[in-house]
């Protein structure tokens, strides 16, 4: 049983990072990594979670909720930045856990990341299909945009979800630089539309909508600690936290960064800062244009379109533009999630924990194309034939577990390799990692019981796979 806790020697990881001839191609600069992070972070969360958090907990002070959530993410982001600069190889949290917490914990986090990236990509592809049909005015026949197991509209298959997955997988196989270029174009489109909404929306702000700034105690429907006042700000932070999910995907591309010691911290923390500024401005404008109480009844997904059509006369076209921005946001989120998952598989296969086929690179493009194709089959089956609500908050569980283990890993690495060169150092250790662990563990506890049971079932399946296959094929096997 001793090899369950065997750590991957740091010198092996650094040697692997330096092997740029046989490994993944180093083509990404700091700007590429920042746009990669923005691509992963800004999805529908901005357009959907803002109104939901305002209506359910925070009111106009949802802007403060975004700041609180960003601070929570920053603790984990600082820990990711130290690891990504010190161990610049693919694999993200899986690799960091292997070097600090041992093989079994590395497997656990690698298996959990499938929930974040693979299931997340499938769920977002299903939502992409829904918004495309909405943009087209329902032109796609219902049987071709719903799963056969959909409880309300059973169909044949979700064809648009499959099509977007095939297109984005093709881009990923073609090359990481090409994927980053496509992502940058998508990011430009959706950020431009967000900025246009902010700029135009400022003209329609009604200052009265900010009074009171926090939901007063005793407001009907807001009984409970986290439904009003400062408690409501924290409750809102728990809701909008999930709009930040994705910045950790930047670290999966560490082995493809030109100067990882400098570029990785800029990519991880830079994308967090840019998105936080956009989120705060967006939420300030949205709750100024429409009163937060209107979002209790206005459609969740259509909350921004509702605010535009109801309170911004003459700018109805902007509601359509917002739908385009959401589609663009979904597209880049899927792209980065598929990239992240294939890089985690690449590292796991390189270590022998999953079959070698996942680490085989394309002879010309030097991308893990077989992993991309196998991932397409898995994610495509889920997106095309399984209802979108099945994944639930499993994506969030996988993300938060990764945050906890990476934060813990910084503490362990500082103890076992105190003299190792660290191009970027997490400040205020052990305070920052401990706060990262506490905040993210608290959010895991707050996830609903049904999702936690599903996550436990998934992890049990993972342990069966580990003891049946991975443990015996590990390259670190004694």
Question: Taking residues 348-361, what's their average pLDDT?
Answer: 89
Q: Is the pLDDT of residue 280 over 90?
A: yes
**Residue 366: CB atoms within 10 Å:** 18
Share of the chain above pLDDT 70, in %: 93
pLDDT at 476: 81
CA angle 217, 223, 226 (to 5 degrees): 85
User: Can you give the C-alpha Rg of the chain in angstroms?
Assistant: 22
Q: How confident is the model at residue 286 (pLDDT cuts 50, 70, 90)?
A: very high
pLDDT at 384: 85
Residue 145 φ then ψ, to 5° = -135, 20
Q: Could you tell me the two tokens for 251? A: 């670290």
Average confidence score pLDDT of the chain: 84
Q: How far apart are the first and last CA of the chain?
A: 11
Q: Which helix (H) or strand (E) holds 350?
A: helix 316-350
What is the domain extent for residue 36?
A: 25-473
Residue 138 φ then ψ, to 5° = 75, 25
pLDDT at 207: 95
Residue 5 belongs to some domain of the structure: no
CA distance 39 to 444: 25
Question: Taking residues 292-301, what's their average pLDDT?
Answer: 76
Q: Is the pLDDT of residue 61 over 80?
A: yes
Place of tokens 């497997």: 107
Task: Find which of 84-93, 139-148, 219-228, 295-304 is predicted with most confidence, using mean pLDDT.
Answer: 139-148
Whether 276 and 289 have beta carbons less than 8 Å apart is answered as: no
Find, among 53, 88, 120, 467, the residue nearest to 300 by Cα: 53
| Range of weakest confidence among 37-51, 72-86, 130-144, 352-366 | 37-51
DSSP H helices, 87-206, are: 93-100, 103-135, 159-174, 176-201
Q: Is the pLDDT of residue 185 over 90?
A: no
Q: How confident is the model at residue 284 (pLDDT cuts 50, 70, 90)?
A: very high
Q: What is the largest CA-CA distance in the chain?
A: 71
Residue 260 belongs to some domain of the structure: yes
Running DSSP on this structure, what letter comes out for residue 9? P
Place of tokens 């997340």: 120
Q: How confident is the model at residue 206 (pLDDT cuts 50, 70, 90)?
A: very high
Residue 18 belongs to some domain of the structure: no
Find, among 174, 154, 197, the residue nearest to 316 by Cα: 197
Whether 173 and 367 have beta carbons less than 8 Å apart is answered as: yes
CA distance 124 to 388: 8
Task: Find which of 145-159, 208-222, 299-313, 458-472 is predicted with most confidence, using mean pLDDT.
Answer: 458-472
CA angle 187, 191, 194 (to 5 degrees): 150
Residue 6 belongs to some domain of the structure: no
Q: Is the pLDDT of residue 5 over 80?
A: no
Residue 10 belongs to some domain of the structure: no
Find, among 242, 218, 280, 272, the residue nearest to 60 by Cα: 280
pLDDT at 276: 93
**Domains in the chain: how many in total?**
1
**CATH number of the CATH domain containing 253:** 1.20.1740.10
Residue 419 φ then ψ, to 5° = -100, 0
Residue 17 belongs to some domain of the structure: no
CA distance 45 to 329: 9
Q: Is the pLDDT of residue 268 over 80?
A: yes
Whether 45 and 39 have beta carbons less than 8 Å apart is answered as: no
Q: Is the pLDDT of residue 17 over 70?
A: no
CA 239 to chain centre: 14
Residue 1 belongs to some domain of the structure: no
Q: Is the pLDDT of residue 392 over 70?
A: no
Tens of pLDDT, residue by residue over 447-464, are: 767 778 888 998 999 999
Q: Is the pLDDT of residue 364 over 70?
A: yes
Residue 201 belongs to some domain of the structure: yes
């Amino acid at each position: 049983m001793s090899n369950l806790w065997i750590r991957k020697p740091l010198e092996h990881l650094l040697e692997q990072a330096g092997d740029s001839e046989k490994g993944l191609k180093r083509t990404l600069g700091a700007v590429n990594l920042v746009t990669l992070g923005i691509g992963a972070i800004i999805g529908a969360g901005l357009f959907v979670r803002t109104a939901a958090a305002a209506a359910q907990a925070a009111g106009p002070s949802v802007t403060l909720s975004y700041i609180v959530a960003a601070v929570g993410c920053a603790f984990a982001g600082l820990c990711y930045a130290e690891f990504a600069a010190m161990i610049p190889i693919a694999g993200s949290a899986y690799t960091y856990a292997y070097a600090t917490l041992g093989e079994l914990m590395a497997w656990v986090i690698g298996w959990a990341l499938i929930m974040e990236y693979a299931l997340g990509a499938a769920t977002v592809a299903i939502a992409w299909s829904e918004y495309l049909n909405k943009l087209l005015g329902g032109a796609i026949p219902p049987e071709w945009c719903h799963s056969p197991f959909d409880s309300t509209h059973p169909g044949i298959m979700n064809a648009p979800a499959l099509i977007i997955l095939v297109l984005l997988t093709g881009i990923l196989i073609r090359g990481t630089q090409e994927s980053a270029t496509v992502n940058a174009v998508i990011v430009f489109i959706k950020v431009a539309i967000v900025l246009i909404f902010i700029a135009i929306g400022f003209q329609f702000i009604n200052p009265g909508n900010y009074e009171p700034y926090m939901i007063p105690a005793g407001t009907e429907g807001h009984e409970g600690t986290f439904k009003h006042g400062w408690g409501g700000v924290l409750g809102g932070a728990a809701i909008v936290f999930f709009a930040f999910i994705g910045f950790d995907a930047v670290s999966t591309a560490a082995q493809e960064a030109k100067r990882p010691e400098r570029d990785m911290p800029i990519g991880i923390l830079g994308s967090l800062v840019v998105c936080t500024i956009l989120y705060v401005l967006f939420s300030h404008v949205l709750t100024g244009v429409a009163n937060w109480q209107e979002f209790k009844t206005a459609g969740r997904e259509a909350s921004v379109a509702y605010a535009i059509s109801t309170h911004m006369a003459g700018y109805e076209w902007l509601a359509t533009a917002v739908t385009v921005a959401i589609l663009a946001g979904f597209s880049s989120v899927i792209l980065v999630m598929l990239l992240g998952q294939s890089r985690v598989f690449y590292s796991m296969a390189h270590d022998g924990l999953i079959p070698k086929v996942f680490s085989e690179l394309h002879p010309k493009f030097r991308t893990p194309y077989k992993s991309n194709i196998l991932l397409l089959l898995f994610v495509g089956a889920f997106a095309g034939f399984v209802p979108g609500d099945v994944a639930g908050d499993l994506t969030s569980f996988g993300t938060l577990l990764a945050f906890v283990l990476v934060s813990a890993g910084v503490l362990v690495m500082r103890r076992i390799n105190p003299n190792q060169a660290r191009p970027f150092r997490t400040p205020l250790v052990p305070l920052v990692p401990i706060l990262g662990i506490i905040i993210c563990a608290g959010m895991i506890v707050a996830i609903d019981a049904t999702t936690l049971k599903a996550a436990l079932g998934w992890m049990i399946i993972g342990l069966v796979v580990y003891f049946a296959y991975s443990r015996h094929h590990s390259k670190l096997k004694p």
